[in-house]
Amino acid sequence: MNAAIRPWPKDEFEARLRELGRYYHIHHPYHRLMATGRLTPAQLRAWVANRYYYQISIPLKDAALIANCPDRAVRRRWLQRIVDHDGRQGRDGGIEAWIRLGEACGLERREIVSETHVLPGVRFAVDAYVDFVRRSDWQAGVCSSLTELFAPTIHRERITGWPEHYPWIEPDGLSYFRNRIGEAHRDVEHGLSIVLDAFDTRALQERALEIVRFKLEVLWTMADAMYHAYVTDMPPFFCVGDEEWTSGSTTDR
């Protein structure tokens, strides 16, 4: 076989997937401001309120993946992700933990769950991700989840940095990030093993890289929308005098 089209060994394939971490949204200016304590309370609240839409969409994405998957063993294990976010009888999940994070930041529950502050750019990006998983084969859906490779770093950064930079946030609100460190490691191990086995030709491996790039673009686009709205003061329709978005913004608090 021509070396140019020979599949990469699994260790090289994994290394190429991990190299894409340089495009993770942890490097976006909005997140760098967050990590260094330079977001205002209103800007941080705006991020939490917008990110809520991503949180509630993840179980929908995972349910779509399960619906596309004929492998019972994979479905059984993937189902845990939905439980992690939605919770179960007697135990709250990640979505409820995210709402508590918002409350700890000064948002009211009704503000968060009503999606009042969700920007169009954030909504479009998240919906594109869910739609991609619905329309793709289940292995591609698994591959799109591999941005979790880079997530534990950002969770640890928030757990250690936020108490110093944002002492006004109630400490209990950070439980979401603490819980996700262990969950993300578990999920990455499962998802990565599937991708390394299923994407076993050079063409499929290159496709896997494209899928992860797409997911990275989703996350980056979400941050772009928030940066324009809350840092450069260019919310949707700002130049045509639309009061609905400016009055509904969290930037005035």
Q: How confident is the model at residue 253 (pLDDT cuts 50, 70, 90)?
A: very low
Per-residue pLDDT, 185: 80
Residue 193 burial (CB count, 10 A) = 12
Residue 191 burial (CB count, 10 A) = 21
Distance, CA of 251 to CA of 249 (rounded, Å): 5
In this prediction, residues 190-194 reach a mean pLDDT of 97
In this prediction, residues 114-143 reach a mean pLDDT of 98
Per-residue pLDDT, 88: 87
Mean pLDDT, the chain, integer: 93
Per-residue pLDDT, 251: 45
In this prediction, residues 194-198 reach a mean pLDDT of 98
Q: Using one digit for the tens of pLDDT, what is the confidence trace for 199-244?
A: 999 999 999 999 999 999 999 999 999 999 999 999 999 888 766 6
Residue 252 burial (CB count, 10 A) = 8
4 has a pLDDT exceeding 80 = no
DSSP tag of 36: T
Going from the C-alpha of 174 to that of each of 19, 81, 104, the distances in angstroms are: 28, 20, 8
User: 195 Cβ partners below 8 Å, 6+ apart?
Assistant: 17, 139, 142, 143, 146, 208
Q: What percent of the chain has pLDDT over 70?
A: 93
Per-residue pLDDT, 248: 46
User: 117 Cβ partners below 8 Å, 6+ apart?
Assistant: 46, 49, 50, 111, 248, 249, 250
pTM over the 0.75 mark: yes
Per-residue pLDDT, 190: 95
Q: Using one digit for the tens of pLDDT, what is the confidence trace for 139-171?
A: 999 999 999 999 888 888 999 999 999 999 999
Residue ranges of domains in the chain: 10-236
Domain at 10-236: CATH code: 1.20.910.10
Per-residue pLDDT, 154: 87
Distance, CA of 87 to CA of 79 (rounded, Å): 11
Q: Using one digit for the tens of pLDDT, what is the confidence trace for 53-75?
A: 999 999 999 999 999 999 999 99
Going from the C-alpha of 199 to that of each of 144, 203, 215, the distances in angstroms are: 13, 8, 17
Sign of the dihedral through C-alpha 163, 168, 171, 174: negative
SS (H, E, C) 79-126: HHHHHHHHCECCECCHHHHHHHHHHHCCCCHHHHHCCCCCCHHHHHHH
